Each structure stands twice: as C-alpha cells, then as structure tokens.
Amino acid sequence: MVRYCAQEKAGFLTNKNHLGNALGLGLISTLTLGSLLSIFAQQLSLIIFKTSVYYPLFYYLAFCASLIVLYQILIALFNGLNELVKLIVCKSLASLLLLFSSLLLIKIYGLTGGLIALVTMPSLAAFFALGFITKISQFKWSWLKPCFNWHTYKDFLPYWLMSVVTLVSTPLMLILIRLHIANVDGWETAGLWEASWRIAELYLLVITTALTTYYVPKLSQAPNLTTEIKIVYEVLRWAILFASTLALGMYFCRDFLIKLLFTDHFAIVSNFLLFQLLGSVIKIIAWVFSYYLVVKQKTKLFLISEIFFGITFYLTSCYFFDQFGLIGLSYAYFINYLIY
C-alpha cells in the first residue's frame, strides 16, 4: 500500500484506486478471519493460553478486526503520500491510548484487562486516522468506498504472501524456542530469555519505524536501479550508525534499563545482553536489504530466505542453548542474522 501510494503520487502509475481496493480486500479478509476466530475461539484459547478462560478475547478481536485493518491501511496511506505529521501524530495518539488503557485495565482486571486493551484499543485508533485523513487536501469520502477489482488484488498478492509468511514464521519460531527452553530448563528461564529479547527489540522498533517512514516511499519512487542503490547505501549508513550508537548506549546502561523495565530477579539478563544487542545491529543491516526485496517485489527470494533462516534460527537456538545455556541463545541470534 505504501509503495503504490508513493508511486501514484510520483506519477509512475495510472490511478488504479489502490486505497479502495485495499479496503475491499481488508473487508473480505477480516470478515473471513473474524468468522474463523468466532467459531474456534475456545480451541484457540486452549492452544495459545493453555486454558479456555480467555476465549471471549477472540470474539473481541473478531469484532475489532475490520477497524484495525482500516487503521493500518490509512497509516500506509499517510506514509505513501508523505503526510509525515499526520502519520507521527496518529501513531503517537494510538500508542498513548494503548498505554493508558492498558495501565487502567490491568489495574482493574489484571492480565485479562491487559489482553482486552491489547486486542481492542488498536481498533479505536482507526477513528484518529479517519479524522486526520479528512484534513488531506482534495480528500473525498468516496476514497473510503471499498472496491473489489480482482486485477488490482493481483498487485497486492505478492505483498500479502510476504506479510503472511513473516507474521506467521517469526512468532512461530519464537514460540517454539520458548517451548524448548521451558522443556529443558523451566518457564522461569524462558522468561529471562524473553526479557533479553524484548530489550534488544525495543530500540529496533524505534529505528525501523523511523527508517520505514523514509525508506519505503523513497525506494518506491526511485526511477532506476542507480537511484535505488544510492538510496539503499544511504539508509544502510544511517541504520548502522543509529543502531550501533543505541546498542552501545543500551549496553552501558543495561543494569539501569533492566531495573527500570523489570524486577531485580531479571538482573542476570545483563550477563548475556552483549551478543543480543550485537545481533540486533546485524538485524538492522539485514532489514535494509530485506525491505528492498519487499518493495521491489522479489517475492520468491524473500519467502525462501524468511523460511530458511527462520528454521535455522530455531535449530541454532536449540543447539546453542543446550550447549551454553541462556547466553547460547544470544550467540545463535547473532550468528543467524550474520549469515542472513
């Protein structure tokens, strides 16, 4: 969606109404997904949470799915049209809404409240996005009319495949690794690894969000290969600089960050955070190239690399954990992304 909006703005494409067709495809997808979530709510709760207590959450998600997709489509529109102020303010308001609602609901209802906020609050952010889209010059309400053009859907198909594989493979590998740690050394150890993973991912989210806002539209509008390579090198330099600087700062402040984010029980995490942070820097470099594959629709190469290196990440994690303990997981993370 970001690519096609950016290209249409630059005049590279005839108007195929990608926004309307994205809304139409989103409507079909969410209705299908919502039906499945509602039908299999209890089974999904048992699989994911090991208890059927949380099955109402899947009803909430089914109900909110259409609004969540609408929000994501409008955010992509802001990005592609280079409406950066609207993009930043909208995402900031959505994050603040999720933060404060989570704190309130967790205080009142505990874990259940936190899960309800996580499922439902992103849907409310769609109303922020709707408010901002009306401020775009030349806006017409007809923009938001869902369209069902199967020829345009073919444009979306490669990106849908790449997104689905990434969304499924990454969490699946993390779940399998966590289960392996728990089976070998208990859930407490799995929680310690999860803490180190979250710390490393924390600053990656900041960098990738910032770079995506610039990188994807810029790359989409590149008229030739020479310009594309120039953009890739430019983003790569900044990505390495920012990632290395933040990783270095987080490493030296690791004890403070762990105390700030977790309890004293997690202090041991600082002992194996070095290679986790180094792996994150390498991951940023890999991210620059993988996004090139996505934007330029190198679907086959992207899918093969995602699946292959997802499997090798799981295998190396299990091997290094069995050999070296928790720090072995950081070794596996670093080595796998270095090869990638």
pTM assigned to the model: 0.74
Read out DSSP for 239-289? Answer: HHHHHHHHHHHHHHTHHHHHHHHS-GGGGGGGGG-HHHHHHHHHHHHHHHH
From first to last of its 340 residues, the chain has per-residue pLDDT tens of: 666 676 666 554 445 577 778 888 888 888 998 899 899 988 888 887 878 888 888 898 889 888 888 888 888 888 777 777 888 888 888 888 888 888 898 888 888 888 888 888 888 888 888 888 888 877 778 778 888 877 777 777 887 788 888 888 888 898 899 999 988 888 888 888 888 888 877 778 777 777 777 787 788 777 788 888 898 999 899 888 988 998 898 888 888 888 887 877 888 888 888 888 898 899 988 888 888 888 888 888 989 998 999 999 999 999 999 999 888 999 999 999 999 9
Count of C-beta atoms within a 10 Å radius of residue 193: 23
Query: Of 240, 239, 276, 270, which Cα lies nearest the Cα of 252?
Result: 270
Q: Which residue has the tokens 């690894």?
A: 193
Read out DSSP for 120-169? Answer: HHHHHHHHHHHHHHTTSTT--GGGGS----HHHHHHHHHHHHHHHHHHHH
